[in-house]
């Protein structure tokens, strides 16, 4: 078990280094200047700005300095928003994105599992067709279309909820549903396909032949095995919804990490782009790492196979 965890941790660190290195050099290879844009700035002022942010130094020196700062948890200052650091933006925006993401996960996980389980138990019936139709809509309809549709129906036409901004719980309802739509659909489809496979196993057929009700067999014996592949999907989707959806936060004017990422790209704010990318990547890799650990506890056969191959 220790060797398994050590191997996963090393893979995580190497992957993060690759992301940081690739993003750093690709970002500096993009044409354009973060200070000029459409403005005309005297050369003396431009040189002083480059010197202040260390952009006048060779690229490899900038890279080494950034890695040193990263080891101390410092993501650097923002170029566009002077006097503020990337750490401050993350400290302000992440709690908002995390709250929205937790609400979306709280809605998506049980809803997706419930829809998928019902669809598998009632395979070929109207319940199955209805659940799969909903999941197809959730997968195929883009989030910006769904968000705009919700705003038009519930805000403009029915006047039930606020259109945008961030404040009370009512402001979170529509973005939460819009953010949860895609994960719900994927979880429902994964649960259904795995439940159908599990319900076809011999031990399930034996239990049904003994007169045990289908609902009891499905929940007690089938659901645990059917949910194992769903865990694999929960790693990246948890990272995605907790760190913020760029499009949904932009549409609903939510001051989370998503909108800061968009502003930094538009303004060529190099430290902000790199810092948020590192944060998003770290969160994603840690989520996958935790899911892998949870997977080995829920399915001991994985650990046994690893030991046999070792």
We report the CATH number of the domain holding residue 175 as: 1.10.3720.10
Per-residue pLDDT tens for 190-208?
888 888 887 777 777 777 7
User: Is the domain of 258 the same as that of 142?
Assistant: yes
pLDDT at res. 1:
65
Three-state SS at 77 = strand
| Within a domain: 25 | no
The DSSP symbol for 53 reads: T
**Contact between residue 261 and residue 63 where contact means Cβ atoms under 8 Å apart:** no
Instruction: Say whether pLDDT at 137 is over 50.
Output: yes
Residue-averaged pLDDT of the chain: 81
| Within a domain: 27 | no
User: Is the domain of 276 the same as that of 233?
Assistant: yes
Q: How many residues does the chain have?
A: 310
- Give me the mean pLDDT over the 162-191 stretch: 87
pLDDT at res. 224:
72
| Domain, as residue range, for 174 | 91-309
State the total domains in the chain. 2
Rounded Cα distance, 244 and 261, in Å:
10
Q: Which two tokens stand for residue 91?
A: 């400290």
77 phi and psi, to 5 degrees? -85, 155
User: Is the domain of 121 the same as that of 234?
Assistant: yes
| Within a domain: 12 | no
- Give me the mean pLDDT over the 208-229 stretch: 75
Per-residue pLDDT tens for 86-106?
889 888 888 888 888 889 989
Least confident of 66-75, 132-141, 189-198, 211-220: 211-220
**Contact between residue 275 and residue 257 where contact means Cβ atoms under 8 Å apart:** no
% of residues, the chain, pLDDT over 90:
2
Decide which of 83 and 244 is more confident: 83
Three-state SS at 159 = coil
**Model confidence at 169, in pLDDT bands (50, 70, 90)?**
confident
| Exposure class string for 107-117: b at 16+ Cβ within 10 A, else e | bbbebbbebbb
pLDDT at res. 216:
78
User: Is the domain of 280 the same as that of 208?
Assistant: yes
pLDDT at res. 300:
57
């Amino acid at each position: 078990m220790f060797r398994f965890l050590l191997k996963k941790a090393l893979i995580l660190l190497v992957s993060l280094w690759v992301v940081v290195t690739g993003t750093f050099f690709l970002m500096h290879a993009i044409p354009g200047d973060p200070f000029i844009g459409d403005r005309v700035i005297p050369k003396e002022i431009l040189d002083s700005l480059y010197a202040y942010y260390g952009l006048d130094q060779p690229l490899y020196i900038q890279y080494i300095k950034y890695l040193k700062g990263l080891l101390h948890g410092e993501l650097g200052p923002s170029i566009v928003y002077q006097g503020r650091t990337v750490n401050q933006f993350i400290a302000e925006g992440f709690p908002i994105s995390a709250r929205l993401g937790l609400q979306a996960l709280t809605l998506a996980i049980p809803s997706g599992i419930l829809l998928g389980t019902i669809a598998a138990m009632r395979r070929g019936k109207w319940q199955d067709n209805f659940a799969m139709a909903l999941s197809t809509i959730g997968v195929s309809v883009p989030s910006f279309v769904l968000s705009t549709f919700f705003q038009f129906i519930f805000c403009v036409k029915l006047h039930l909820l606020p259109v945008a901004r961030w404040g009370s719980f009512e402001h979170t309802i529509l973005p939460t549903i819009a953010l949860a739509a895609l994960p719900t659909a994927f979880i429902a489809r994964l649960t259904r396909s795995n439940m159908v496979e599990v319900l076809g196993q011999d031990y399930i057929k034996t239990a049904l032949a003994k007169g045990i009700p289908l609902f009891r067999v499905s929940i007690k014996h089938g659901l645990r095995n059917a949910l194992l592949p769903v865990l694999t999907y929960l790693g990246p989707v948890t990272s995605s919804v907790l760190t913020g959806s760029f499009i949904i936060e932009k549409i609903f004017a939510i001051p989370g990490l998503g909108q800061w990422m968009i502003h930094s790209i538009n303004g060529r704010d190099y430290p902000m782009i790199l810092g948020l990318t590192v944060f998003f990547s770290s969160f994603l890799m840690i989520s996958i790492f935790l899911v892998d650990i949870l997977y080995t506890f829920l399915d001991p056969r994985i650990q046994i196979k690893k030991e046999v191959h070792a």
